[in-house]
Chains A and B, each alone.
Chain A
């Protein structure tokens, strides 16, 4: 990490200005993924725009019965929030399962979803809950936001400001973590809402996805046993040193059942 200009703006307007003035600028939130990337020189930005000094990006508040969480809110803040624990305990659990205390103390919601690591936890939470991503320009539904591996609908000069989560009837997140990083080898977020059942899977494929077969089975009968007859194909699933595609497919179903059981 050499030779870049470091900025620590105080307002979103300054961020917009910096981004439009510096084509190669990169945004820095908690830095837990981005700093290692810089060290490995996988990214060599001209300018680094640090978002940690912007007050309007922080905070957790109740809104329309659901929750709105500012982009630079840390995982530790979400995990430790009484409000989140009361309104959306599954999301507090998810945040608490991210990484280790060091990562949770610095890593942020906005950083995580903007990076869209295939094994990150929050994408499952957002898609599972049908959350809305608020940006400096617009609102984007979670499913439209996550577009591919490390890819999102964000434009070059657009940043996430907050995420709004509606309150479900029931929800739970079950994860099979990498024992070292606690990234999801497979993580399944299950939610039942007035509108139906949503099952979002992270870690298994290049990008978070909804498991519609599982959703259909659960819509008829929201119980672990309802998933017994459903098979999850391994096609297109990730394969790496930690797990084969077949094993991941198997995990999707097992973790979905466990999430349903945990949701009650």
Chain B
């Protein structure tokens, strides 16, 4: 039954409306498609993520699970209905001031869940807030600032006002108002009128050959399907990949699939027609082949070969060698060895891949969710066989990336379809296909050994890690090269030998995920530090501090570090807390029953930017006759806040307030290449470019005013004042000749971190600058259940200088949440948990209190001393938790994640009982 004549009536955001949708259509879809209210997001379409949470008769519900027939006569409120007439409501403003929205994709759902609570309980406590938002997943924030925002909104305190200032100020993120209002346009939120829909048909097999039958006949039986694309339809190169010589991943598979979820066909047609197709009806003849799963199987002598050119399934090897490691280890007073095994980890951004493509003459434009518009442009150009200049990438708001949106996803196939059909084409991946097809964190199999002398100084360090790169190379080579540089941890050593291999298997392609293999390696080196300290009878923190890299030290790559190495300060900041907590634990020992508490500590270092490779960024800033500034910012903000801090840095260098700035973001037709949002590089690299662009514009202004470098600028409409001592020069911008885009002045800045190539032994200068950190975790292990509950995390991070402390804290809290997931719950198993109820990510209940200490000693290369924190935030968390488990139980599980059943088995094997 379709809705009765006149449609189905309900009240939407206070207005009576009628829907013409069939009664069985889901509310989420109806809100977005019929009413254009795209503030309600669809993250899973299965009631797992809560992004589509709306109020139905005042109570929060998942709009994706409500057939509209059920709401006849009801009242629905969406995020668009929250705002008051004169702007955002108190809850939305509280989200802004606390920094509770990062990527913003979960924000509408969070707001509605909180609004439900506040309507029922005007003064909730923290537990009630956590319960109320417990059904909405956030992958960015670690939930801390969201809880803080709801409590702030509920309080009777006036909301704090936004501070003034630029560098170092807790400014509200510039994209925040759009995100809390539900206005930010993510990949699925825009579509050209008359856009066709594209749906990929994917392999149900992990490895198979296939033949395609009569597609034309199939199409004839399915009116509305206009075209079915196969590998043969790709106009240019049917392959993509991060490295120029490793374009091994096909846009559409040609005759053979290497992982489950690999696309083989693309259906293009009307949305109704493509959605209706049952993939099993397609004429594809599958011949399944035995798949290769796991590193051991791939390295077996008789293993099936995943790629013909790599008979041993080894994609790449990496190596760093300094000194004689054997000698150093042999001469050690104590030695320790560790084996660690980790799993595939899914990025689980709440926004699945989505976008659209439009052909304009001999050019193509793509609007899509991405972390790397310029790389997308190169890939799409090659796939279409056209010059890159004829491809324009316009990044949508990015609903989380974490490395998973560095590889192209929807872009190439959308481009091919729009190119061939000459019609706009859109696609939105479902949650299961996003999880099956997107890249993962590399599973690692690590063995490491380290030694120390009687004085507690580290001697030698040996490490070998095999990394399962899955079916395609993706960022496998980056992992293989980055890990040996970091595998020792941030410590002084006499000798080291660190080797890695990237291994092809029939798992999902493993690519970039916050840390490029370093988080896995850190689990090993931090276990070794605890074991060595224990064997020497030394305090675990003091042992790390004694060996911590300091300015002037030489790394195992032979790089002499300059200033901007503040690991010791991180450890010293934690030291009093460490001692106090250890004493408290010691006092409580022996009367815990089945619950055992433990305290763990871990350190990390992370090279910012690409490894020994040029990775420049260029920014421009223009000044218009009207007195507005425009930052042409090609750095994609994936939630971390680059769209805000680039303006803070540029404004600081220029000496004018942020309020005068507008921005053009990411669009490859309008911004310069700022490089990828990866490797924690945007603050350092693009931040310097933004600073230099601001300085360049300032220099031009000062020249016009014939003023010295310390002059003060003021901009009042078209009147630019330059004040120096008692002297005031006024420049009327309307009298200057406008150039391109109507701007009278334009500054430009470029920066590339100074690195040097690594030789065959990994000796050189891999990175210009490093982030350092130490974190502590207090956990409680339930010996009867095998569960581990983090109770509190302390994080001391050397960030150089915080451009925006609120955003820095947000990165750290979010990184810690992902570290908790890595340590305790996240394990992707192809074909088994391609959804957000079987694949577990931390919910609000899993993230404990986090105490952050920002160490701001300034980095000599950073813009105003700042450096990146995106990946450093995550790396020490899992090692700290694992060390805390060992501290609590005496058992050190070698397999990550430490799920309850694994820990219980390990406890049983070691005969640990409550």
Which stretch, A4-12, A54-62, A153-161, A193-201, touches the partner chain B?
A: A4-12
Q: A254: which B residues are within 8 A, CB to CB?
A: 784-785
Q: In the complex where A6-B69, A50-B69 touch, is A180 in contact with B901 (Cβ < 8 A)?
A: no
Known: A180-B48, A180-B838, A251-B785. A100 touches B134 (CB 8 A): yes
Q: Are A247 and B901 in contact (CB under 8 A)?
A: yes
Contact for A8 among B69, B131, B832, B845, CB less than 8 A: B69
Q: For chain A, what secondary structure do more than half of its interface residues adopt (helix, strand, loop), or is it mixed?
A: mixed
CB distance from A125 to the nearest CB of B (A): 20
Of residues 819 to 873 in B, which have CB atoms within 8 Å of A's CB atoms? 825, 829, 832-833, 836-841, 843, 845-846
Closest chain B CB from A260 CB (angstroms)? 14
Contact with A along B884-914 (1 / 0, CB 8 A): 0000000000000000110010000000000
Q: Are A36 and B24 in contact (CB under 8 A)?
A: no
Q: How far is the CA of A100 from the CA of B51 in the complex (A)?
A: 13
Task: Tell me whether A179 and B904 are in contact in the complex, defined as CB-CB below 8 angstroms, given that A7-B1, A32-B47, A103-B47 are known contacts.
Answer: no
> Closest residue to A51 on the B side, CB-wise?
B70
In whole Å, how far is B637's beta carbon from the nearest beta carbon of chain A?
28
**Among A83-91, A138-146, A205-213, A237-245, which stretch is in contact with chain B?**
A237-245
In the assembled complex, B715 has its CB within 8 A of some CB on chain A: no
Q: Compute how far the CA of A250 lies from the CA of B914 in the bound complex, rounded to whole angstroms.
A: 14
Q: Are B843 and A179 in contact (CB under 8 A)?
A: yes
A242 to B897, CA, bound (A): 12
Residues of B close to A100: CB separation below 8 A = 50, 134-135
Instruction: Find the B residue at minimum CB distance from A243.
Output: B901
**How many A-B residue contacts, CB cutoff 8 Å?**
114
Chain B contacts of A242 at CB under 8 A?
Answer: 838
B-side contacts of A31, CB under 8 Å = 65-67, 70
Chain A positions within 8 Å of B25 at CB level: 1
Give the CA-CA distance A241 to B901 in the complex, in Å: 11
Within 8 A of B (CB), among A1-59: 1-2, 4-8, 28, 31-32, 35-36, 38-39, 41, 48, 50, 52
Check: B276 CB closer than 8 A to any chain A CB. Answer: yes
Give the shortest distance, in Å, between B700 (CB) and chain A (any CB): 55
Closest chain A CB from B497 CB (angstroms): 37
* Residues on B with beta carbons closer than 8 Å to the beta carbon of A101: 59-60, 113, 116, 131-132, 134-135
Q: Which among A32, A76, A178, A180 has the highest number of chain B CB atoms within 10 Å?
A: A180
A105 to B58, CA, bound (A): 10
Report the minimum CB–CB distance from A120 to chain B (whole Å).
14
Q: Whole-angstrom distance from the CB of A115 to the nearest CB of chain B?
A: 14
Question: Which residues in A have their C-beta under 8 angstroms from that of B846?
Answer: 179
Q: Is the CB of A102 within 8 A of B843?
A: no
Say yes or no: A105 contacts B59, CB within 8 Å.
yes
Kindly state the separation between the CA atoms of A181 and B835 in the bound complex, as whole angstroms: 11
Q: Say yes or no for B462: interface residue by CB 8 A criterion.
A: no
**Contact residues in A for B845 (Cβ distance below 8 Å):** 179
Whether A102 touches B840, Cβ cut-off 8 Å, given contacts A35-B67, A244-B901, is no
Task: Flag whether B320 is at the interface (Cβ < 8 A).
Answer: no
Known: A179-B840, A179-B846. A28 touches B67 (CB 8 A): yes
Q: Is A232 an interface residue (CB 8 A)?
A: no
- Of B1, B829, B904, the residue contacting A250 (CB under 8 A) is B904
Bound Cα distance A242, B832 (Å): 11
Q: Which residues of chain B come closer than 8 Å to A180, judged between CB atoms?
A: 48, 836-841, 843
Residue interface bits A164-202, CB-to-B below 8 A is 1, else 0: 000000000000101111000000000000000000000
Residues of B within 8 A of A99 (CB): 135
**Which residues of B sit under 8 angstroms from A50, Cβ to Cβ?**
67, 69-70
CB distance from A264 to the nearest CB of B (A): 18
B238 at the interface (CB under 8 A from A): no
- Asked if A102 and B838 sit within 8 Å, CB to CB, the answer is no
* B204 interface hit (Cβ, 8 Å): no
Judge whether A106 is part of the interface by a CB distance below 8 angstroms: yes
Query: Inside 8 A of B47's CB, which chain A residues have their CB?
Result: 32, 35-36, 102-103
- Interface presence of B96 (CB below 8 A): no
Q: How far is the CA of A188 from the CA of B826 in the complex (A)?
A: 26
Task: Find residues 397-454 in chain B having any chain A CB closer than 8 Å to their own CB.
Answer: none
| Minimum Cβ distance to chain A for residue B486 (Å) | 30
Whole-angstrom CA separation of A41 from B24 in the bound complex: 13
Q: How far is the CA of A243 from the CA of B846 in the complex (A)?
A: 19
**A residues less than 8 Å from B67 (CB atoms):** 1, 6, 28, 31, 35, 48, 50
Interface residues of A in 219-257 (CB under 8 A from B): 241-244, 247, 250-251, 254
Given contacts A179-B843, A242-B838, A254-B785, whether A105 and B60 have CB atoms under 8 Å apart is: yes
Closest to B63 in A: A102
Task: Tell me how far the C-beta of A23 lies from the nearest C-beta in chain B, rounded to whole angstroms.
Answer: 17
Q: Is the Cβ of B833 less than 8 Å from the Cβ of A241? A: yes
Closest to B2 in A: A6
Q: List 28 A-B contacts (CB under 8 A).
A: A2-B276, A6-B1, A6-B24, A6-B69, A8-B23, A28-B70, A31-B66, A31-B67, A35-B64, A35-B65, A36-B46, A38-B24, A39-B46, A48-B67, A52-B70, A101-B135, A102-B50, A102-B60, A103-B47, A106-B56, A106-B61, A178-B837, A180-B48, A180-B836, A180-B839, A180-B841, A181-B837, A243-B901
Q: Can you list the 4 inter-chain pairs with the closest CB atoms, starting with the nearest?
A: A100-B135, A6-B23, A247-B901, A105-B59
| Given A1-B67, A35-B64, A101-B134: 18 more A-B contacts, CB < 8 Å | A2-B276, A6-B1, A6-B24, A31-B66, A38-B24, A50-B67, A50-B69, A52-B70, A76-B59, A101-B132, A102-B135, A105-B61, A106-B61, A179-B825, A180-B838, A247-B786, A247-B904, A250-B904
